[in-house]
């Protein structure tokens, strides 16, 4: 996403829940609204009426390595190899896997290993105590030897190298906590190609930062900033030193991504590429109901929750990925009711056919009957 806005940027301090917490923070809602508006405009101007072909490739893998990657023991990495020993499909920096867990849950994790390694994939998972159970299941039950199924790889956060798909001449990476995972392969790619780059890695404290040893091997290109030592960063501090001709790659919590987006608005000629690891808060939501046509179950969706959240509580294998309305993974079919479409990718024809993205879209009133 390329940011170009004539209005001046503000040095907006980040709210106290930068790394996950309260969803009612007014600053968070303001920043999320700005990011969402830009994402919708970019997606609309690049939208095609023909939906991209879904990659439903399923690969049986086995865990061949399991390591703790943060000193607080809340981040574990898994190295996965094909059960039959075959080479794995190629991937590029920014890609992720859909991981089918033994419970039936489907979760998405960024690939953080080496794209040149065709025999194994590496992912990392931060334990979230109240995060719906996927991360806890991995930390508690998945060990070396565990058999799993993955889908993909898929890429919703592609890396365009300066001189090889991007007009930028230098790179700036900003990672917050577990947001380092898609950034790591980008760092290695930029370094191997001799591209000028710098990085800011931020989190609550050093012991919460995964892969810190790997990151610090890049030397003074990397700045590590932690809240316990330096306080919460402002958006201006997150992009300090960014100038025209820079491509910014940012991944982490929604407030951090929003602060970076706001901070670069007044810098001409800056590309902003971002990925959030949490869903944006629901704005102006009204409660409604969803009926699952095949079972007759009726679920109530509160004003401050998405239809996807409610569906996942009822059936944890419901597929999803971006939770922001642009990847189509959570698409469902509406059989009756008046949808309030809030996505940024479905064409008018798709909406007329009954398609709806459960992660962001809602009901214009009453009840939606879904083909589930």
Tens of pLDDT, residue by residue, the chain (372 residues): 333 333 333 344 444 444 434 344 454 455 445 544 544 444 443 333 333 344 558 999 999 999 999 999 899 999 999 999 999 999 999 999 989 999 888 888 999 999 999 999 999 999 987 655 789 999 999 999 999 999 989 888 899 988 877 889 999 999 999 999 999 999 999 999 999 999 999 999 999 999 999 999 999 999 999 999 999 999 999 999 999 999 999 999 888 998 999 999 889 999 999 887 666 678 788 999 999 999 999 999 999 999 999 998 888 778 877 777 877 889 999 999 999 999 878 899 999 999 999 999 999 889 999 999
Paired tokens of 143: 């060990």
End-to-end C-alpha distance for the chain, whole angstroms = 34
Q: How far is CA 50 from CA 47, 234, 314, 346, 357, in A?
A: 9, 41, 31, 9, 16
Do the Cβ atoms of 362 and 288 come closer than 8 Å? yes
Do the Cβ atoms of 173 and 186 come closer than 8 Å? yes
The pLDDT of residue 325 is 82
The pLDDT of residue 245 is 95
d(CA 253, CA 231): 16
CA dihedral angle for residue 338, residue 344, residue 345, residue 346, rounded to 10 degrees: 10
User: Reduced to 3 states, what is the DSSP secondary structure of residue 65?
Assistant: strand
Q: DSSP letters along 68-126, please?
A: E-STTS-EEEEEEEETT-PPPPP--TTEEEEEE-TTS-EEEEEB-S-TT-SSEEEEEEE
d(CA 168, CA 184): 20
Alpha helices in the chain (DSSP H): 26-45, 134-141, 180-193, 212-216, 227-230, 235-238, 254-263, 307-314, 348-352
Burial class (CB in 10 A: 0-12, 13-18, 19+), 140: exposed
| Nearest alpha carbon to residue 123 among 110, 108, 138, 136 | 110
């Amino acid at each position: 996403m390329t940011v170009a806005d004539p209005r001046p940027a503000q040095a907006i301090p980040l709210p106290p829940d930068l790394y996950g917490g309260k969803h009612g923070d007014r600053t968070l809602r303001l920043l999320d609204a700005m990011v969402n508006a830009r994402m919708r405009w970019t997606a609309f101007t690049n939208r095609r009426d023909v939906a991209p072909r879904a990659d439903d490739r399923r690969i049986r893998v086995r865990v061949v390595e399991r390591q703790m990657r943060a000193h607080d023991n809340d981040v574990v990495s898994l190295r996965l190899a094909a059960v039959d020993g075959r080479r794995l499909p190629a991937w590029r920096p920014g890609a992720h896997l859909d991981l089918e867990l033994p419970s039936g849950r489907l979760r998405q994790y960024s690939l953080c290993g080496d794209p040149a390694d065709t025999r194994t994939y590496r992912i990392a998972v931060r334990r979230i105590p109240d995060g719906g159970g996927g991360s806890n299941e991995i930390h508690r039950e998945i060990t070396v030897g565990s058999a799993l199924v993955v889908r993909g790889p898929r890429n919703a956060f592609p890396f365009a190298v300066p001189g090889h798909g991007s007009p930028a001449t230098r790179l700036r990476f900003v990672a917050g906590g577990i947001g380092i995972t898609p950034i790591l392969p980008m760092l290695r790619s930029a370094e191997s190609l001799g591209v000028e780059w710098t990085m800011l890695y931020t989190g609550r404290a050093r012991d919460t930062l995964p892969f810190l040893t790997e990151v610090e091997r890049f030397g003074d290109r990397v700045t590590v900033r932690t809240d316990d030592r330096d306080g919460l960063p402002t958006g201006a501090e997150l992009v300090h030193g960014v100038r025209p001709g820079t491509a910014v790659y940012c991944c982490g919590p929604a407030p951090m991504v929003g602060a970076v987006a706001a901070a670069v608005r007044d810098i001409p000629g800056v590309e902003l590429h971002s990925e959030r690891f949490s869903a944006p808060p629901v704005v102006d939501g009204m409660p409604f109901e969803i009926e699952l046509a095949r079972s007759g179950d009726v679920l109530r969706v509160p004003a401050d929750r998405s239809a996807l959240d409610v569906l996942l509580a009822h059936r944890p294998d419901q597929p999803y990925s971006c939770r922001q309305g642009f990847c189509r993974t959570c698409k469902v079919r509406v059989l009756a009711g008046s949808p309030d479409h809030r996505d940024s990718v479905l064409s008018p024809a798709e909406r007329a056919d009954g398609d709806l993205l459960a992660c962001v879209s809602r009901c214009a009133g009453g009840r939606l009957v879904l083909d589930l």
